[in-house]
Amino acid sequence: THPYPAQAGNPTYNLSMKTLVIVESPTKAKTISKFLGRNFIVKSSFGHVRDLPKSKLGVDVEHNFEPHYIVSRDKTKIAKELKEAAKKSDAILFATDEDREGEAISWHLANILGIEPKEVKRIVFHEITKHAIMHAMENPRHLDLKMVDAQQARRVLDRLVGYELSPFLWRKVAKGLSAGRVQSVAVRLVVEREREITAFKPEEYWSLEGFFQTQKKETFQTKLYTIKDKKLDKMDVKNKEQADKILKDLDGANYKVENVEQKKTKRLPSPPFTTSTLQQEANNHLGFSAKQTMRLAQQLYEGAELGSEGSVGLITYMRTDSVNLSEKFLGEAKEVINKEFGSNYTLPKIRSYHNKSKNAQEAHEAIRPTDASITPESIKEHLERNLYKLYNLIWRRAMATQMAAAELNATVIDVASDNAYKFRANGQTISFDGFLKLYPDKAKENILPELAKDEKVDCQELKPEQHFTEPPARYSDATLVKALEAHGIGRPSTYAPTIATIEDRGYVERDDKKKLKPKDIAYLVNDLLVEHFPHVVDLQFTAEMENSLDEIAHGKKEWQPVISAFYGPFKENLEKKEKEISKKELTEEKTDQICEKCNSSMIIKTGRFGKFMACSNYPECKNTKSLDPDEEKAQEAAQASNEKCEKCGEPMILRHGRFGQFLGCSGYPKCKNIKGIDIKMNLKCPKCGTGDIVQRRSKKRGKPFYGCNRYPECDFAMWEKPTGEFCPECKQPLVFAPKDVIKCSNKECAYKKESAITPEESSA
């Protein structure tokens, strides 16, 4: 099942030679070393050793886009060590990851070590196990230069967009901004979703539930389904008046069972994980971000310490779009399932899955455990908590694919009134849990009473319910990955870095549900790109470019013509827009307010960190005001503090960063002391009784939280914004919760009520 079996033309290799094996990760090197003898030295390159320079474009656009690679300053020591190790070895094997990035790393390393690409001996494997490593050692191959070209094309393309469009944004919008071929499309999706939410107008609709009792005094719940044989759509009952009319029609009605339908159904398990589905499920079930999921998966792939066994690679390669499973794993899985659950949970023949993506690499495998017999519970004590959670998810999903289908009994009961209203109840029981025993989904039992056709039932209650349509939800990591994949944008290796980039660059932030919310600057930059650089952020164009990169990897296209076809029109348009677009028109809005310092008019400006009010007489007058009520309070607090720097004695002054206002030493850059600004919440600390609750921001993400100002003497803190009132039941602070609800901050107290104002309005 190895993707690169021995073929005519592949390089030969003598296992008895003194050999240097180069990988890109020290953890991977440690795990691989266990399987090799004394003739082998395994070294890590710590990722890319050679890349485009950071200080300049590094691409010769006049000479067929020739890239200029350099060994980065922080990698010179590693490059030197690898050269010295290579001189002492009889042979060199490159064992970097089996995707385009890994192929390019090997190509760069060969160049550094002075090895002709055609002479390179390359080994690849999907899992870091003895079986896979030894098979790879016996079957080396040449470098796949088509994959190298595809990686070069992506690198050059992204460099051209990033290094030419980003400075344009600095000049026309604000310094420090960035643009990217995939990241800008991701920002567009987030911005457009937020605008859908803002423009959404909720519509009222009603449903009617009926509660009935059988002759045996068993109750069951139904929902109004048809009126005079017309099936009710969700929005058919639009208001209370219509709901009341139905209740009036049914007043005094008699009911009987019109129909009972029972059928057996089967439910099949989902395919094993690909990169995108793993990121989606880990986000939905475990709350992990895409970046966090890939970091943990990398650790599981490269090797986790399992006590006396040492470092063990626990999963196969985690950047894949294939749903294939090896015959070796399928055999192991059947044995484990039979042993753990019994023969009735095994399959008579293997269950296979097929890729939906036309560009999926069928030679690769899905993400699965390297050994089916290594159950999550057997290694739980050796794994950090989140590593265990992710391994548990991967193991169960892969094993479930080879378990018997779940068998369900579905029941539909229709109850009709004597004046042509029909109510329906849906129920199901699980007659055989099958794969659900290992990987439960939303299949919950809803048991209905045994009823016969024409049996009379009594109506206990008719309950009308008012509803309102809800706007589409903000993107989570899971739904944004799904959207990118659906549009054909990016590939398995790019989803997580793309989301991390748009967050790190300040285009999006997380709301209280960890969903992605665009910042002010995202709207401005997105609208600028959509209007003036439509190709850069066009979903279809970006997907077509991904297809071109795939065709380069398959040898169907040369990479330089693909870059040339994009760059010529892009550069011409960039030069044109440089002359046409005015920064002032983009970033400034007039207001009717007057500056209290110089009597000039105030304007609203959009900078890298969002919108703020500033004097139009800048730079003569540098008066600014925040549009955020909380930051305005911070500004007032800062101005009133007259605080001195505790490190050098210079005055502390108000500064503005990506996470809002803070105090910084006026002696900067000699003194870099900074300090957060406490915003009082008009609430005494419920823990110590003497301190005040103030708003602060977390160091890592800048997320607001609320804690006692006597910290570290008092460590009381909470994430939700307090209302300033206390719970009438347990006397703990009340806080603002989602969907306009006020609840008790004490998790053991169930008190909640509807809020008349939002947290933002409370600030104002």
- d(CA 44, CA 22) in angstroms, rounded, equals 6
Of 255, 317, 345, 439, which one is the catalytic site residue?
Answer: 317
| Residue 129: both structure tokens together | 């196990």
In this predicted structure, what is the pLDDT of residue 17? 78
pLDDT > 70 in the chain, percent:
91
* Percent of the chain whose predicted confidence (pLDDT) is above 90: 65
Does the pLDDT of residue 315 top 90, yes or no? yes
Residue in 372, 373, 374, 376 with CA at minimum distance from that of residue 392: 376
Per-residue pLDDT for 302 more than 70?
Answer: yes
Spatial neighbors of 231 by CB under 8 A, at least 6 apart, are: 225
- Full strand arrangement of the beta sheet holding 674-675: 652-657, 660-665, 674-675
Sheet (strand 91-94) strand order:
40-44, 19-23, 91-94, 121-122
Buried b (16+ CB within 10 A) or exposed e, 734-762: bbbbeeeebbbbbeeeeeeeebeeebeeb
Whether residue 360 is predicted with pLDDT greater than 60 in this model: the reply is no
What's the average model confidence in pLDDT over 338-348?
Answer: 95
Residue appearing with tokens 């659900």? 436
Residue 699 CB burial class (10 angstroms; 0-12, 13-18, ≥19): exposed
The residues near 722 (Cβ < 8 Å, ≥ 6 apart) are 681, 683, 693, 706, 733, 734, 735, 736, 745
How far, in whole angstroms, is CA 712 from its chain's centroid?
34
Instruction: Please state, in angstroms and rounded to a whole number, the distance separating the CA atoms of residues 110 and 278.
Output: 33
Least confident of 43-57, 460-474, 725-739: 725-739
- Quick one: tokens of 274? 């690909």
Judge whether residue 2 has pLDDT over 60: no
755 pLDDT above the threshold of 80: no
Give the sign of the dihedral formed by CA 752, CA 755, CA 758, CA 764.
negative
Residue type, 199: A
| CB neighbour list of residue 377: distance below 8 Å, 6 or more residues apart | none
The token pair that represents 446 in the structure block: 């809803």
CA distances from 610 to 196, 465, 588, 613, 704 (A): 21, 41, 12, 10, 17
pLDDT of 759 reads 47
Contact 109, 45 (CB under 8 A): yes
Contact 299, 312 (CB under 8 A): no
Distance, in Å, from the CA atom of 725 to the CA atom of 272, rounded to the nearest integer, reads 50
User: Which of 25-29, 297-301, 480-484, 629-633 has the least mean pLDDT?
Assistant: 629-633
Token code pair at residue 609: 């960190």
* For residue 564, pLDDT beyond 90: yes
Is there a catalytic annotation at residue 421?
no
Q: What are phi and psi of 591, to 5 degrees?
A: -135, 170
* Per-residue pLDDT, 709: 87
At 717, the amino acid letter reads A
